[in-house]
A and B are shown apart, each in its own frame.
Chain A
Amino acid sequence: QQPVQSPQAVILREGEDAVINCSSSKALYSVHWYRQKHGEAPVFLMILLKGGEQKGHDKISASFNEKKQQSSLYLTASQLSYSGTYFCGTEPGDYKLSFGAGTTVTVRA
């Protein structure tokens, strides 16, 4: 069963912040976040493992609430290069990811 992502789309001005949410009805072992630019393959951002660990990557960070089976991706002080579609991939521990429908982020100057 695929995770649910929200919002579907968000428009930001450079320097603004955004949060993308991902929730699953299954018990999860890990959550993966990817970004995809138009016409390209998804690019890995980070993995969060069971245990509620928060991770960061430049000004992009994420958290994982294993009790609620939810993860959030935080875009801080957005840059033009952050534009793209963000996907969460959830995994119960069987090495098979289920991907959400994606959140399209547009950052404008």
Chain B
Amino acid sequence: NAGVTQTPKFRILKIGQSMTLQCAQDMNHNYMYWYRQDPGMGLKLIYYSVGAGITDKGEVPNGYNVSRSTTEDFPLRLELAAPSQTSVYFCASRGTGGSGEYYEQYFGPGTRLTVT
């Protein structure tokens, strides 16, 4: 199992450009998440998905969009990049079991994005 993979690892964008951060998992997890982590800070939830075709906003969704057409993939789209979006972006996935079963979140290696 590759676990959670993210591409690219690094990216520099100019203000106003757009890009898509890719995330894939091969563990057949229902739940997938996008977080951003600013320097010296904790993780903030951008968007999450409970399964293919179902997505919802987290704490800081402005400036981002997501889609989930398959169980495996959960891309994050940045439209009109701004310097405030300079951050490290982590994708994560989590399995769900029967009633009362709670499982850990697995994180991808992250994408370091700089907007100048």
Contacts and interface: CB of A to CB of B under 8 A. Distances in A.
Counting from the closest, the 4 A-B pairs by CB-CB distance are A41-B107, A99-B42, A44-B104, A99-B43
A99 B37 CA distance: 10
A95 B31 contact: yes
A49 interface: yes
A61 interface: no
13 contacts: A41-B90, A41-B110, A47-B104, A49-B102, A95-B50, A96-B33, A96-B45, A97-B33, A97-B45, A97-B105, A98-B45, A101-B41, A102-B40
Interface residues of B, number: 25
B43 A87 contact: yes
Interface string B88-116: 00100010100000111111111000000
Contacts of B96: 95
Interface residues of A, number: 22
Interface in A33-62: 40-44, 47, 49
Given A95-B31, A95-B96, A96-B48, A44 B42 contact: no
Contacts of A42: 43, 90, 107
A89 B110 CA distance: 18
Contacts of A89: 43, 105
Residue among B43, B48, B90 having the largest count of chain A Cβ atoms under 10 Å: B43
A6 B59 CA distance: 22
Contacts of B59: 98
A44 B106 contact: yes
